[in-house]
Chain A
């Protein structure tokens, strides 16, 4: 902290821009925050992918353990969260790619897209898990 240009000793404190807490939450802002949170969650979620793959390459017992843990109710809950985070980050990322081309930047379109990201991610998560139970049944 003390090395930041805003607080370095001997320097006149530099003005800081106001932080999140003073703004009224709006959909685009919330989806931006959720995009980062889901990205962070997926980062650690890759540990589950690694565990699953390493278990599959090790032995039937190791694979059974991984499948058992991930198939327990808490495992399924985590996997549902993982699925939602992936869909949300995927849709949010596509929204960012669209913005990068300069389209859909106006206020109302951006807000609609923010809601669409949320609704789309929830719908796709639901569909994914319906597919899981249909395939698994």
Chain B
């Protein structure tokens, strides 16, 4: 039977990594967002350096700080996940180990992200 797919349809999303350009694009989009967000995070750490417990919490509880830091954490973790996937795909050749590491990568990102966001929300909501 003749192939009814257009060349574009065959190519889209089916490169050698089976993911086409989606992965590449996601790394780029998150990296663009992370340029200002990282600068904000560096500024925040500088601004709270040496401050005590109450001062730091008061700063983290400010809605603008909490929102921007939350975005920094979420987008950083998405970017990290993509980056580590690339590293794993490049250096790990055994399919079993690769699968395990890709899972661990996702778990790591979810646990770190969950912890950061819970902490941020708890402080922001005054807990």
B35, B84, B94, B120: the one within 8 Å of A1 (CB): B94
Cα–Cα, bound, A36→B87 (Å)? 8
Residues of A within 8 A of B34 (CB): 90, 93
Residue pair B119, A46 in contact (C-beta under 8 Å): no
Residue pair B35, A136 in contact (C-beta under 8 Å): no
A interface, by DSSP: helix, strand, loop or mixed?
Answer: helix
Please count how many residues in chain A sit with their CB below 8 Å of the partner chain's CB atoms.
34
Cα–Cα, bound, A86→B45 (Å)? 13
Please count how many residues in chain B sit with their CB below 8 Å of the partner chain's CB atoms.
34
Cα–Cα, bound, A132→B60 (Å)? 18
Residue pair B28, A100 in contact (C-beta under 8 Å): yes
**Chain A residue at minimum C-beta to C-beta distance from B57:** A56
A47, A56, A93: the one within 8 Å of B31 (CB): A93
Residues of A within 8 A of B112 (CB): 46-47, 50
Residue pair B53, A136 in contact (C-beta under 8 Å): no
